[in-house]
Amino acid sequence: MQNNVTRFLVSQKVKFTVLESEAIKRSAVESAELFHLDPNTVYKTIVGLRLQPGKPLLLIIPGPLEVDIKKTAAVIGEKKIRVASQREAEDLTKLQTGGISALALLNHGFQILVHNTMLSQDEISVSGGQRGLSILMNAKDFLRITRAMTADIASQP
| CATH classification of the domain holding 103 | 3.90.960.10
25: Cβ contacts below 8 Å, ≥ 6 apart = 96, 97, 98, 131
Range of the domain at 39: 4-155
User: Tell me: the pLDDT tens digits for 53-102?
Assistant: 999 999 999 999 999 999 999 999 999 999 999 999 999 999 999 999 99
User: Tell me: the pLDDT tens digits for 101-155?
Assistant: 999 999 999 999 999 999 999 999 999 999 999 999 999 999 999 999 999 999 9
What's the predicted TM-score (pTM) here?
Answer: 0.94
Q: Residue 30 CA to chain centroid, in angstroms?
A: 15
The total of structural domains in the chain comes to 1
